[in-house]
Amino acid sequence: MKKLIIPILLILISGSLKAEKLESPSGNFVLTFAVDQGIPTYALDYKEKPVITESKLGLELKDAESLLSNFEVASVNRSTFDETWKPVWGEVSEIRNHYNEMAVNLNQTTSDRKLIVRFRLFDDGLGFRYEFPEQDSLIYFVIKEERTQFAMAGDHTAFWIPGDFDTQEYNYTESKLSEIRGVMTDAVTDNVSQQTFSPTGVQTALMMKTEDGLYINLHEAALVEYSCMHLNLDDENMIFESFLTPDAVGNKGYMQAPCHSPWRTVIASDKAADILMSHITLNLNEPCAYDDTSWITPVKYIGVWWEMITGKSTWAYTDLPSVKLGETDYSKTVPNKTHAANNEHVMEYIDFAAKHGFDAVLVEGWNEGWEDWFGKSKDYVFDFVTPYPDFDVKKLQSYAQSKGVRLMMHHETSGSVRNYERHMDQAYQFMVDNGYNAVKSGYVGNMIPRGETHYGQWLVNHYLYAIKKAGEYEIMVNAHEAVRPTGLCRTYPNLIGNESARGTEYEAFGGNDPDHTTILPFTRLIGGPMDYTPGIFETDISQLNPDNTSKVNTTIARQLALYVTMYSPLQMAADLPENYKKHLDAFQFIKDVPVDWDNTKVLEAEPGDYITYARKEKGTDNWFIGRTNDENARESTISFDFLPAKKKYIATIYSDRKDSHYRDNPKAYQIMKYLVDSKSKLSQYCAPGGGYAISLIEVDDTMSTKKMKKM
């Protein structure tokens, strides 16, 4: 009898723990799924090392039995997918989308409800999501919390910013996971949103490195009709758990089956470069929603902007404390002397743009309402169609057009989102009527409807509504302060930019950490391009506004590098024309560098230390290199073996000098020219807070290179 019982018990135990395995196409990743005593779990290995150890899956529902336990596997569907697609714009001209898929169909025995967990395993990592199929026993439901775990195998080094429902505009902290609690308690106590998290709540994309050199990145893809995910860390067991952004009454998502969650992503590799080159976030989004994309074009722009950010000029037309829109006759008010968006000044910017080959000029502060931004009737601050008296839309449009330049629209919503939605059709039509094809939108301040936050489901829905609506008018969108991107630009490529992180503007509000741009490509840019607005040449802000003592923590050479390292199809030359005129030799790089690419290589990369990219311009054989460096002096060593064999290039190197330093000597740079080919190698000094930029122009018969030194 005993002899029989043991095998039966073993069968029962292994039956309940029957693991389903899935391998990535190369076999480097192995995913294990199991139902452990009714609880769905997963684990992920990379080259036989644990990336995610056994972690629970499920959701807690409001006023209904939760989808956390009492599950059994009904069936498992497996498939393989392999296609190559062409993005409308991008870092590369073709992207391979290759994965093995496993859809686990679960039954909840106590409720007869069905839940699918769909896993896609790529050669660069994992994507998985919850799917709620159509069924009688689950129609409408409210998510109380998503309880997806990401259990770490150790106390990794992390590059993180604190959890927050309203902003991502932080410098990053590099620390052990076990140190997050201490840093957070010391540093972010004044952050209101933070109080709703555990003191170990962080935002994604979260970048980590293990002690044995594995790089791990956690984020989400295709955030649609759902709340943005944060991660709370159980720092005794090193287990992250999802923490969704609540709405005004604390709920985390209103759902109607059939529906699904966004993808949760885990990118991992033993090479940091692979994290930067991963296309998981894009691949997990739906293909392009538009048949005709000819109206979507990458843009390089300047703007009537930095002068307001630094406090040299104002957005507002008058110095009146608070005037209610519609009740002030601006034509009868006295303009201040600092309103930058005036006809004459905008025309100077248009002239500068035309002379130096820029596509567009952004003008902020062109429309009525800035005086009343924080006034009582915040719901109605802006109508997006009424210019101040000194901004003549028609005249400026035809002037810009005559010079081959576009004006770029600005919609500051002041967080008053229903007001924006009410005016949106009219505002976009106004753009079409006046020749605008791109808008920079912004969501500064607390949200209205009151109690909603920047990253909740309500706002997530709004941002996408604005992008789709813009699409109907063939308008491109660059949204600031919106939720962090999750690859939606694949489906809606008119989303050509987002801010959603601490951009260059903070260099005028106290400064960004010198290593900030060595981290952003590993975190914020995993979701999509950023309108970082680089190109500041005057690093001493008091030169623009004597009352502003902020210093830009960078050398000029590094500002050039950012056009290559901070990938975006929308790039701004953010400084004032007068500052560029002082350094026209360095400015040449900003003029030459393209905003769209056929190919990209990561030459060197370490989060928090340095990144060096080489990119091939779309449609030409020219290459551009950018290197961003942290606060330490470093030597960069690169090979040009990515160039086609036997072809010669003129390399113009814009670099730091030996005496450059982001603090004491930021404006020292040098420009050297060499002849290079695929056998050339370069060892280049990078100053603290520095870097370098290189343009590589293919030599043709018209160029005389006799006197040029070979590298």
Tell me which residues are annotated as active site: 505
SS3 155: coil
Packed helices 457-472 and 417-433: angle between N→C axes, nearest 10 degrees: 10
CA distance 591 to 354: 11
- 166 touching ligand NOJ, by CB under 6 A: no
CA–CA gap between residue 245 and residue 261 (Å, rounded): 14
Characterise 315 by phi-psi region: left (phi > 0), alpha (psi -120 to 50), beta (else): alpha
- The least CB distance from residue 309 to ligand NOJ, in Å, is 6
Q: Min. distance of Cβ 166 from Ca ion in angstroms?
A: 11
The count of residues interacting with Ca ion (CB under 5 A) is 1
Residues 331 and 193: their CA atoms lie apart, in Å, by 41
For the chain, give percent helix, strand, coil, nearest 5: 20, 35, 45
* Contacted entry of ligand NOJ, Ca ion, none for residue 364, CB cut-off 5 to 8 Å set by kind: ligand NOJ
DSSP 8-state class, residue 131: E
Q: Please, what is the minimum distance in Å from the beta carbon of residue 480 to Ca ion?
A: 5
| Among positions 248, 444, 584, 672, the unique one binding ligand NOJ when judged by CB under 6 A | 444
Which of ligand NOJ, Ca ion, none binds 76 (CB below 5-8 Å, type-dependent)? Answer: none
Residue of 230, 258, 228 whose CA lies nearest to 243: 230
Phi, psi of 407 (to 5 degrees): -90, 145
In the range 466-495, which residues lie near Ca ion by CB under 5 A? 480
Q: Is 510 an interacting residue with respect to ligand NOJ (CB under 6 A)? A: no
3-class secondary-structure state, position 456:
coil
Of residues 124, 174, 307, 364, which one binds ligand NOJ by CB under 6 A? Answer: 364
Nearer to Ca ion, 313 or 555 (CB): 313
At residue 43, the 3 state secondary structure works out as: strand
* Cβ nearer to ligand NOJ, comparing 462 with 480: 480
Among 123, 166, 174, 412, which residue interacts with ligand NOJ (rule: CB under 6 A)?
A: 412
For tokens 């896993």, name the residue. 119
Q: Does 442 bind ligand NOJ (CB under 6 A)?
A: yes
Residue span 205-224 as binding mask against ligand NOJ, x where in contact by CB under 6 A, dash where not = --------------------
Cα(227)–Cα(250) distance, rounded to whole angstroms? 12
Q: Which partner from the list ligand NOJ, Ca ion, none does 163 bind, CB cut-off 5 to 8 Å by kind?
A: none
Q: Are 445 and 185 in contact (CB under 8 A)?
A: no
Nearer to ligand NOJ, 532 or 623 (CB): 532
Nearest to 420 by CA among 469, 471, 476, 457: 469
Shortest Cβ 228–Ca ion spacing (Å):
17
Q: How far is CA 698 from the centre of its chain?
A: 32
Q: Computed from CA positions of residues 436, 440, 443, 449, in that sequence, does the dihedral angle turn out positive or negative?
A: positive
412 is in the binding site of which of ligand NOJ, Ca ion, none (Cβ under 5 to 8 A by kind)?
A: ligand NOJ
> Between residue 467 and residue 496, which ones bind ligand NOJ under the rule CB under 6 A?
480
Contacts of 322 (CB under 8 A, 6+ apart): 371, 372, 374, 375, 376
- 202: helix, coil or strand? strand
Tell me how far, at minimum, the Cβ of 499 lies from Ca ion, in Å: 5
Would you state the structure tokens that stand for residue 102, as one six-digit string? 């496993």
Window 589 to 618, contacts with ligand NOJ (CB under 6 A): none
Q: Which does 359 bind (CB under 5 to 8 A by kind): ligand NOJ, Ca ion, none?
A: none
- Nearest-approach distance from CB 612 to Ca ion, in angstroms: 28
Candidates 166, 307, 371, 505; binder of ligand NOJ (CB under 6 A) is: 505
Site string for ligand NOJ, 278-307 (x = CB under 6 A): ---------------------------x--
Question: Which is nearest to 569 in space by CA: 364, 362, 301?
Answer: 301
The answer to the question of residue 499 lying near ligand NOJ (CB under 6 A) is yes
Q: To the nearest whole angstrom, how small is the minimum distance from the Cβ of residue 464 to ligand NOJ?
A: 20
Which is closer to ligand NOJ, CB of 29 or CB of 430?
A: 430
Closest to ligand NOJ by CB, 61 vs 576, is: 576
Residue type, 673: K
CA dihedral 597, 668, 302, 166 (to 10 degrees): 80
Minimum distance between the CB of residue 74 and ligand NOJ, rounded to whole angstroms?
49
How many residues are recorded in the chain?
Answer: 711
Regarding 456 and contact with ligand NOJ (CB under 6 A), the answer is no
| Binding site residues, Ca ion, CB under 5 A | 480
Which residues contact ligand NOJ (rule: CB under 6 A)? 305, 364, 412, 442, 444, 480, 499, 505
